[in-house]
Structure 1
């Protein structure tokens, strides 16, 4: 949607077609934990090169937040925008050194943050589960479905949207590309592939990015009595100091969201029983943090994929004559997808941008081992990390 919107702005006389296999604004873009991330915990705490990488990523993240904010304000999208920041939190003391190094780096670089201890965290979150956190204050929380649908409603009239139109095959054609769907064939001079975790399914950069499957659960609105038992906290978002730890949010309408599963998918779907198993894991995470609440309050659950690379880089650029790609947002799709979508459209249209060079510097994903070695290795790594991070789940 971001690419189509920008193309309509810079090439107002072009015919622009947006093709969606299912329904637009119904996938992982709308079903996620709703974080617009600023500074990330797992980079920048080592060498000078690490710190430079951290600064590059931070600059891109702030640009992504600014891009989303500009669209929200431009189109008047009500998406529960909350500039309250995010918490990187931990329960086990062994994460204290990691969080201390992160806070020290933020301080050296002049990034707005605060370190919170157990008492302050309990008052802020309504749970005594956590012992320490770093609050990064330029992150944003929002309701992702409201954002995605607001952006869908704001698509320019010049963009033709075809939903329920999976691409069954695509190939080079005279002067462009031919794309085949169940309902017909489309020919285009220029194509932008913006399918994120589904890139390998289309044969794009299959040795540079891989998908992880996450499952989240959302509660019904808390009753007034339940909310008061938690201390009536303001809305917040917690990311774990451990990569395999649980994500927790209290939303503006007093719902609790818990994401406590991460796995390498054997295929890109789950049946009802498999989804229920992941839902039970989220219920255990809820009970560990909020023992006064019944896990049965979790009434909605869903799964979606994120696209990652080994070194945290994106996939972005020109693959061939008239063929462009943007994806691999490393679990920061709300912001990064909007920014890279805008900039891949600029690149495809021959428009200069001061961010394209920075994005390209962060778009060199490290090569992956071939399948099935990649799947085996990733599953073993996740099993090891899950064991090490069990205190945070």
Structure 2
């Protein structure tokens, strides 16, 4: 039998402790996931799994026709012309989708509403309150709290539990994608974010296994308003950024330090590499980049985000070839640039993270 001195045992334990580090992860967005057919779901989820993707962000706004080259099964928005016009089709579709995603090691991040719906007047919030009053009118605020309660109380027949209890399927909830995108009234926005985060927390009924996040902004700095760091109901602060300067490790690191000091986590919830030679933050027009150039951009920018210790969600991975419409950041599975994005996703899962998300992932 071999004996070890107390000093060597302590040294060994210390060494093990110092070598442990939380690992990062890659994720993606597909706002119309509720419209996918079963075969499209299989293509998407198997592809995401091969890229190491752990979370898929989805929305509850209606979609129809062909979206990003994907012919989908139409579904209405969760709410329509008035506060009582509920259509749970999108929730019912996602009930089954989240179970299937679980089989591929993927959880969902649920965006309960989108600023895009306000802009497009696609439900009563935009028609009644516009893109400003929605965040300040007391009736709008109460109607939206009811929406949050409705979503989190929705019962998934596959596990017999509400969404608010379904931490095996759901990574996080956010109140709204890119809330008050132009940020004409940041004070009101910050108040609204914290109010809605508290409403989500209240409707989680003590379940701390599902995170509460913001839905990002227009770029790095306005995704991370100062009051967000002191809002006790927010667990995660989400960054949306498409300008290449916002991908720089040196630009991200001060926010990582600020978040850690405040007890918050960060995610790069939206970012992408433009398919053309247009400015990356305004990916419209221009000529297609050489495949190798875009491949390099994807890998380089993903690595910069990895180096800051922040998990990232690509905008977007498609279950079909990218049709190269406007705002062209998408990458189709098994299409051009897929191997580069897949490699970047796998690399993210091996990178050290500044934040430990492991309790919330499969």
Shared fold by TM > 0.5? no
- Normalized per residue, the structure richer in strand is 1
- Normalized per residue, the structure richer in helix is 2
The two structures have a TM-score, normalised by structure 2, of 0.30
The two structures have a TM-score, normalised by structure 1, of 0.28
